């Protein structure tokens, strides 16, 4: 299951990069800054994915909470889009957490 999660996360990351390149998000206020900060959090989680799945899942959950912040408090238009587009990664994060816990129990 771990390999499938890594492939799905990589696909999500590629789509995320395409979204950033397209520039189809707000260009005023603090919205672009928050979007790039959240991308940096995603990248930290992505790098962590190759070393520790449990921490990766926790970082991606933190990322999704940040997307809620973006959608509720920062975005001027399409307020729910960040949460909806981030939901697949939230599911992947939960699966990473479960996989990480199982691996941790197996090594004990």
Low-confidence ranges of the chain (pLDDT < 70): 26-27
CA angle 65, 9, 36 (to 5 degrees): 50
Specify the pTM.
0.90
Inter-helix orientation angle 81-107/31-49, to 10°: 20
Chain segment 49-67, per-residue pLDDT in tens: 999 999 999 999 999 999 9
């Amino acid at each position: 299951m771990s390999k499938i999660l890594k492939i799905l996360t990589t696909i999500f990351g590629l789509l995320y990069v395409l979204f950033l390149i397209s520039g189809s998000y707000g260009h005023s206020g603090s919205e672009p800054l928050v979007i790039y900060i959240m991308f940096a959090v995603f990248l930290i989680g992505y790098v962590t994915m190759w070393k520790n799945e449990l921490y990766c899942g926790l970082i991606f959950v933190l990322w999704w909470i940040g997307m809620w912040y973006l959608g509720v408090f920062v975005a001027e238009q399409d307020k729910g889009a960040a949460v909806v587009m981030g939901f697949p990664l939230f599911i992947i994060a939960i699966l990473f957490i479960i996989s990480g816990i199982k691996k941790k129990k197996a090594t004990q």
